[in-house]
Structure 1
Amino acid sequence: MNFDLSEYPPIVQQIAGYAIQGYELALTWLLSPAAWSQFAILVAAYVLAVLISRRLRPALTRLIDPGETQNLFTPARLFVLQFLPLILPLLAYALTGIGEQVVRSMFDSGAVIAFGKRVFLFLAVRAFVRDILNDPFLKVLGRFILIPIAALYTLGLLDLVSLKLTETVVGVGNIRFSLMSIVRGVIAGSILFWLGQWSSSQTTALIEKQPMRPSIRQLLLKTVEFMIFGIAFLVLMNVMGINLGALAVLGGAIGVGLGFGLQKIASNFISGVILLVEGQATVGDFVELDGGEAGKIVKMTARAAILETFDGRWIVVPNEDFITTRVVNYSDSGSANRFEAPFSVSYETDINLVPDIIEAAVATHPEVLDLPYPPDCELRGFGENGIDFAVEFWVNGLDDGPNKYTSDVLFLIWNALRDNGITIPYPQRVVEIKGGLPAAADTE
């Protein structure tokens, strides 16, 4: 086949050349007895693989499937079970390999059957991506990276494409990369950081199960996370062929930046590490700072702690403030707190009876503790309108937000006083009119 393509652009001539080569190769295959025998072996291998897989797959499913049985090997059996869709293409690939040895020994040629092997391998890759990968990120990675690579390998173009990508170099300033290194970086980076995220989540679940202080747990979680992604970054730099010695210069520049412009960030980071190690304040504690900020710590980051107030507002407090200022911790990982509820009784009351009545009533509250001290009713003074008392009580928690301990205790006090005939005074005033009342005017 000869065509005059001199008037067309080079790219058209190159594509036409590839098309002619493919046509001539196909024609050679169609007219060659060796090619026909190889096609026959491919068909026979596929049919035999179908027959074997129809019997083998149900048997393996019954053998591997644990059903409702739960034991040490159940996760491993479930993991193996999901790879059964690969039986058909891999069987065809193996049987074709056996046929290839026979054909090469007879005809000293095996191009057709080698192409068929690559087709079966491509089918195995497609089944792996379609039926086995469940993670959304890995499925996207397989669909747009793994399957195209397998398709190029099947067509015999993988080496050619790799060579072209290696020879094509792009530069950013003084740094130059080949397209192949960029492609490797994208693929390796995606896999490494997915593995980093997966291993971090697994490690987090393992650490969460261990009995330890919440602050130490947070420190371990952050340390493991930084280590995993730091190692992933270094491996990625090595895969892309970037000289790690350049990172020393970058680290020096960062050190200078920390010394001048990032002092506060470095101080807050170090303060956060100190807080996690010492455990003076951790997630779940209710704290109050000298500046008036008060709330429950809901999150601790490398730079700041986030407090949530009882009215739903979030306050971002730099970690340094927990170190350099006075901090009142009301929670201290669940320790009890003391509150008091003031009240008054009238002067006609026998005040000797009041403490026992009130202490017994407050003790009935389900959240009031007997330890470290039971409810204690104290006489506080003699007021203008009545005799002032206050009852002190201990609870695990804070008297605000979801808990209203003082309100409940005041209800108990009111009901106890009412049941015992004790009145709560209200303001009374005596008005004295000097000089007496004015005489009534004579209307007659």
Structure 2
Amino acid sequence: MDFQKYNQILTDVSDQTVSVLMEPGTYIQLALVVLLFGLTYFVANRIRRFVPLLASLPPEHQADQDPVRRVAGKLGNLIFPLLTVLVLSLTAEISDQMFGQAWISNTALILSMLLVYKTLIQDFVKNEFVAFVFRWVGLPLLFLHMVELLGPIIEILESMRVTIGNIEISAYGFLRVALFGSVLFWLGRVSNSTGQEIIRRQDKLDFRTKEVAAKMLQVAIIFVVFLLLLQVMGINLTALAVFGGAVGVGLGFGLQAIASNFISGIIILLDRSISVNDFIELEDGRTGIVRELTLRSTTLETFDGKDIIVPNEKFMTESFSNWTHKNKKQRYRVDFSVAYDTDIRKLVEIIKATVAEHPQVISGDDVPFEERPDCEIDSFGDSGVNMFVEFWMQGIDDGKNRVGGDLLLMIFEAMREHGFEIPFPQREVRILNENYGK
């Protein structure tokens, strides 16, 4: 009996297929669909040729282009499938009115929609895992929706419920939150990275304005994604406002330090007291170069490769030294000693000339007198005359710009070359009574 039933179904399908193939309207639709695909492809290419902003970029040049130009080039790839979807939508309606059936146009329309989705994944999703999920989860869902099979599947998933107290969790609700939550977080991440790159490429804005705008964009995107995720989860935002007011009071006390660091970070970026690559000396003596500024903390990199994470509030409540804030030039001194019988006036000129030969020391006739190397007497020591030489240089005398050690070696070699003696501690012992103890 079952065999006869299935045989009858196959016979009916075969008869319907033959009748459809025998109708002239079927071939007219097929020819029309092929013609429309060719027409939209031609029009899309003409549009991209006359609008250079929408032209595709070679892969080797994409990294060097402005993010707006890269996004526009990728949007240009959507012109052909979107035009095809628009034209086939009209064709399906016309075919249904003229021939009483439009299954070829509808099939082509479904393929065009899938092509749009595939192009979006290929051009805009760079993360391999996210692309895998979109391709093997989102694409089947879109296909089921286009063939009107998604509704019955959703009803089946809705019937699969688990009750925990007053909370009901359905399989459809869980999958919906997981799928749309992943999409929202991906959109937030892409929007954040693209927006920050666009902001930081604006040459008319200074560094601090760029950082403030980038951080504000990041906070706004996180807030919007959070609200949209609550909507997907079915949480009433009106009821959440009452709960949020009570929680806000508790967070105001519990997260006071975080809020203080956040506000301090905005103040630092606006008052321009600290910038990336500034050399900072904290009140406790720790020093480092500013490598990163966030709304919570500032990262200082020491010359021995360590990172110091400093809460932004510390820069508001404690004093610190910014060595390179407004002027990169710094003055340093190198100390040394010579014997008492040294010709000091001759030595001073030799040392100043020796120090001026270093390529990182600021010197020359065009340099102001007060910024040229200067050698002076510091004090009279037990074994010799204590001298020092002052000099100016660009940057900090440490790390890659270590100049002090080079100058000490140059001074040592210059003194030996010209016969100047470097003193060392000496003790003179006198025996007053040679017969004492005999």
Residue 202, structure 1, aligned to residue 183, structure 2 = no
Deviation track 1:188-227 (CA, whole Å, cap 9, x = no partner) reads 4444443433333333234334355544443332122112
1:411 to 409, 412, 432: 409
- Name the SS of the counterpart of 1:32 in structure 2: helix
Relative to 1, partners in 2 of residues 1:37 and 1:154: Cα closer, same or farther, differing over 3 Å? farther
Relative to 1, partners in 2 of residues 1:329 and 1:202: Cα closer, same or farther, differing over 3 Å? same
**8 A Cα contact 1:45 1:95, kept in partner:** no
**8 A Cα contact 2:278 2:324, kept in partner:** yes
Aligned Cα root-mean-square deviation (Å): 4.5
Which residue of the partner structure matches residue 319 of structure 1? 312
**8 A Cα contact 1:341 1:390, kept in partner:** yes
| Aligned partner letter, 2:315 | F
Which residue of the partner structure matches residue 128 of structure 1? 119
Distance (whole Å) between structure 1 residues aligned to residue 163 and residue 301 of structure 2? 49
Which residue of the partner structure matches residue 420 of structure 1? 418
Displacement after TM superposition at 1:388 (Å): 1.0
User: Bigger radius of gyration, 1 or 2?
Assistant: 1
Aligned sequence identity (%): 34
Which residue of the partner structure matches residue 284 of structure 2? 291
Which residue of the partner structure matches residue 435 of structure 1? 433
Which residue of the partner structure matches residue 8 of structure 1? none
- Name the SS of the counterpart of 1:385 in structure 2: coil
Distance (whole Å) between structure 2 residues aligned to residue 401 and residue 251 of structure 1? 50
2:152 to 153, 160, 166: 160
| Aligned partner letter, 1:26 | V
1:229 to 222, 229, 245: 222
Bigger shift: residues 153-162 or 76-85:
76-85
**8 A Cα contact 1:38 1:112, kept in partner:** no
Distance (whole Å) between structure 1 residues aligned to residue 65 and residue 332 of structure 2? 51
Distance (whole Å) between structure 2 residues aligned to residue 159 and residue 429 of structure 1? 102
Residue 149, structure 1, aligned to residue 147, structure 2 = no
Distance (whole Å) between structure 1 residues aligned to residue 75 and residue 261 of structure 2? 48
Which residue of the partner structure matches residue 381 of structure 1? 379
Bigger shift: residues 341-350 or 68-77:
68-77
Distance (whole Å) between structure 1 residues aligned to residue 47 and residue 9 of structure 2? 42
Distance (whole Å) between structure 2 residues aligned to residue 115 and residue 21 of structure 1? 27
Distance (whole Å) between structure 1 residues aligned to residue 46 and residue 376 of structure 2? 80
Displacement after TM superposition at 1:367 (Å): 1.9
1:30 to 4, 17, 42: 17
Distance (whole Å) between structure 1 residues aligned to residue 331 and residue 45 of structure 2? 68
Distance (whole Å) between structure 2 residues aligned to residue 351 and residue 269 of structure 1? 57
Which residue of the partner structure matches residue 278 of structure 1? 271
> Within 5 A, what are the aligned runs for 1:74-153?
78-79=73-74, 82-83=77-78, 86=81, 90=84, 98=91, 101-102=94-95, 104-106=97-99, 108=100, 110=101, 112-113=103-104, 116-121=107-112, 124-125=115-116, 128=119, 135-136=126-127, 139-153=131-145
**8 A Cα contact 1:85 1:127, kept in partner:** no
Displacement after TM superposition at 1:179 (Å): 5.7
Distance (whole Å) between structure 2 residues aligned to residue 35 and residue 158 of structure 1? 32
Displacement after TM superposition at 1:342 (Å): 0.5
Which residue of the partner structure matches residue 366 of structure 1? 359
- Name the SS of the counterpart of 1:431 in structure 2: coil
Relative to 1, partners in 2 of residues 1:373 and 1:122: Cα closer, same or farther, differing over 3 Å? closer
Which residue of the partner structure matches residue 341 of structure 2? 348
Gaps of 5+ in 1: 5-16
2:330 to 316, 337, 341: 337
Which residue of the partner structure matches residue 245 of structure 1? 238
**8 A Cα contact 1:339 1:394, kept in partner:** yes
- Name the SS of the counterpart of 1:317 in structure 2: strand
**8 A Cα contact 1:189 1:236, kept in partner:** yes
Displacement after TM superposition at 1:178 (Å): 6.3
Distance (whole Å) between structure 2 residues aligned to residue 96 and residue 111 of structure 1? 10
Distance (whole Å) between structure 2 residues aligned to residue 283 and residue 131 of structure 1? 36
Which residue of the partner structure matches residue 7 of structure 1? none
Relative to 1, partners in 2 of residues 1:170 and 1:285: Cα closer, same or farther, differing over 3 Å? farther
1:395 to 393, 396, 399: 393
TM-score between both structures, scaled by the size of structure 1: 0.75
Deviation track 1:253-305 (CA, whole Å, cap 9, x = no partner) reads 44233343333333333333333333333432222323343322323333333
Which residue of the partner structure matches residue 263 of structure 1? 256
**8 A Cα contact 1:340 1:392, kept in partner:** yes
**8 A Cα contact 1:344 1:386, kept in partner:** yes
Relative to 1, partners in 2 of residues 1:253 and 1:76: Cα closer, same or farther, differing over 3 Å? closer
Deviation track 1:363-384 (CA, whole Å, cap 9, x = no partner) reads 2222223466222212111112
Distance (whole Å) between structure 2 residues aligned to residue 245 and residue 57 of structure 1? 46
- Name the SS of the counterpart of 2:345 in structure 1: coil
Relative to 1, partners in 2 of residues 1:116 and 1:322: Cα closer, same or farther, differing over 3 Å? closer
Displacement after TM superposition at 1:391 (Å): 1.0
Distance (whole Å) between structure 1 residues aligned to residue 183 and residue 291 of structure 2? 32
Bigger shift: residues 153-162 or 54-63:
54-63
Displacement after TM superposition at 1:143 (Å): 0.7
Relative to 1, partners in 2 of residues 1:259 and 1:388: Cα closer, same or farther, differing over 3 Å? same
Displacement after TM superposition at 1:398 (Å): 1.9
Displacement after TM superposition at 1:339 (Å): 1.4
Relative to 1, partners in 2 of residues 1:360 and 1:173: Cα closer, same or farther, differing over 3 Å? farther
Deviation track 1:306-327 (CA, whole Å, cap 9, x = no partner) reads 3222222223333332222232
Displacement after TM superposition at 1:349 (Å): 1.4
**8 A Cα contact 1:181 1:241, kept in partner:** no
